[in-house]
Structure 1
Amino acid sequence: MGNKQLLVTISRTYGSGGHNIGKRLSEMLGIDFLDRGMLDSMSKELGIDAEKYRKYDEKVPNPLRSRSVQAMNLRISNSPEEMITRAQFRYIRDKAIEGKSFVLIGRAGSEILKDYPYLVRFFITGNIENRISRIMEVRGMDYSEAKKAVARHDRTRRAYHNAYSTGKWESPDNYELILSSSDLGVERSARFLYDYLKLRELI
């Protein structure tokens, strides 16, 4: 990669394997991987209690527990969800400002890093039945439980992204590439994204 900074953001539907694809891509690129594990790093660097805030990660504030919600984007200063979100955004931007290259999973990355020239935004999804089957296998759920989990997590991710972004979560206008992982699987999907970055002459 030389000295060129590369920032890759991956939004993903639940059960698509987007997390594992992003992890594998970061390994292929030899750059950092930022997911919910960043809370552990933040606890050391920023003095944040990771365990206290882990359950609020990538969640929108509950208006019943908070004082105010703006019409467009949620901006609630006294909620734990908002506190951890703002801390994560600062942490991510600081890494970018330092010139670090990384693959970022979720966390409205396509919005908070949009001003960086070497940003590439991916969206990973998949056939709904494939996603349900994956959750059944990974989480040990039956079909009904997995189907509900997929719908619930997709709602949560959509709400979080849309609360902090100008572009909609599933809108093609918000990404350079939207990929279905159903036929390719994790390894070949990561390879596909890697080859795309090569075609863009970013690596």
Structure 2
Amino acid sequence: MRVVTISATYGTAGNVIGPAVAEMLGVPFVDRAIPGTVAEELGCTLEEALVHDDRAEHGIGRLLSGAMRLPTVTFGGVDTYLPGAMPTPPEEFVAHTEKVIRTTARARGGVILGRAGAIVLADHPGALHVRLDAPLERRIRQTAAFFDLGDREARRIVEDNDRARAAYVRHFYRADPGQPTLYHLVVDSTSIPVPACVELIASAAEAIG
């Protein structure tokens, strides 16, 4: 069973490349199903699970990147608290997210986008770990063109998302998601066309397995 993890900075088409790679390999694209499964296991609402998710628009990475402290979480050595403390510790959501990722990888394989997949599945036999990245200015231009935005708004979106996704990995795994040694393959998907990226990743996944 093929397993691919993809870490993608904003503006590198991870949400397009991921499903296309999964289709080419004949495995599931594992993204939106993760918070739903976590919510079911913990007996909480999907909304609460999404608050703690790496990929969600208002997920925990945004809180961490804003230097806001969550109850029971150490961040920057400052003891402050969010209003309306969450009833379930964030670490429990992260632990269940890891469990879902590992179970899925063992049971049926898949392409896993974000959620520190390269770290969670670092020891999974035959897994391919991919990083999609590109210079900031190219990612901003790509985002502006895709959403028909001005440069300033596109820059804000890209930088906010970058900070949030990096904060999640740094906080819970004490790692830099941009560290190339975490990955087998680092691809600039703003220079290499998306179809070529998909073929490259799929070929690498077949070769490494």
Q: TM-score, normalised by structure 2?
A: 0.79
In the alignment, which of 35, 42, 52 is matched to residue 31 of structure 2?
35
Contact conserved, 1:9 with 1:105, CA < 8 A, in 2? yes
Residue 188 (structure 1) aligns with: 196
- Using the TM superposition, give the Cα deviation of residue 179 of structure 1 relative to its aligned residue in structure 2, in angstroms: 0.4
Q: Counterpart in 2 of 1:90? A: 99
In the superposition, relative to structure 1, how do residues 141 and 82 fare at CA in structure 2: closer, same or farther (>3 Å)?
A: farther
Amino acid of the structure 1 residue aligned with 2:101: I
Gaps of 5+ in 2: 55-59, 78-85
Q: Distance in 2 between matches of 1:65 and 1:19?
A: 28
The equivalent of 2:74 in structure 1 is: 69
- Residues 113 and 119 in structure 1, CA contact (< 8 A), matched pair in contact too: yes
| Partner AA of 2:149 in structure 1 | M
Give me the whole-angstrom Cα distance separating, in 2, the residues matched to 1:176 and 1:50. 33
C-alpha contact 2:28 2:109 (8 A) present in aligned 1: yes
Aligned CA RMSD, in angstroms, stands at 2.6
Tell me by how many angstroms 1:90 deviates: 1.8
2:152 corresponds in structure 1 to 144
Partner Cα distance (2:159, 2:148) in 1: 17
**What does residue 83 of structure 2 align with?**
none
Give the whole-Å Cα distance in 2 for the aligned partners of 1:67 and 1:84: 13
Match of 1:85, as an amino acid? V
Q: Which amino acid aligns with 1:36?
A: R
Aligned residues: 192
- Partner residue in 1 for 2:185: 177
Could you tell me which of 111, 118, 122 is aligned with 1:110? Answer: 118
Q: Relative to structure 1, is the Cα distance of residues 111 and 21 closer, same or farther in structure 2, using a 3 angstrom cutoff?
A: same
Match in the other structure for 2:17 = 21
Conserved in 1, the CA contact under 8 Å of 2:36 and 2:49?
Answer: no
Distance 1:65 1:163, change over 3 A: closer
Secondary structure in 2 aligned to 1:115? Answer: coil
SS at the partner of 2:12? coil
Query: Cα deviation per residue 1:159-201 (whole Å; 9 max; x = unaligned)?
Result: 111223354211111111110011222221111111223343x
- Taking only the aligned residue pairs, the percentage that are identical comes to 27
Q: Aligned to 2:129, what secondary structure does the other structure show? A: strand
| Aligned ranges 1:45-56 → 2 under 5 Å | 47-56=43-52
**How many Å apart are 1:41 and its aligned residue?**
4.3
Determine if contact 2:2/2:25 at 8 Å carries over to the other structure.
no
Query: Would you say the 8 A contact 1:65–1:79 is kept in 2?
Result: no
TM-score norm. by structure 1 comes to 0.81
CA contact (8 A) 1:9 1:103 kept: yes
**Which amino acid in 1 is paired with 2:72?**
R
Distance 1:167 1:192 in 2: 26
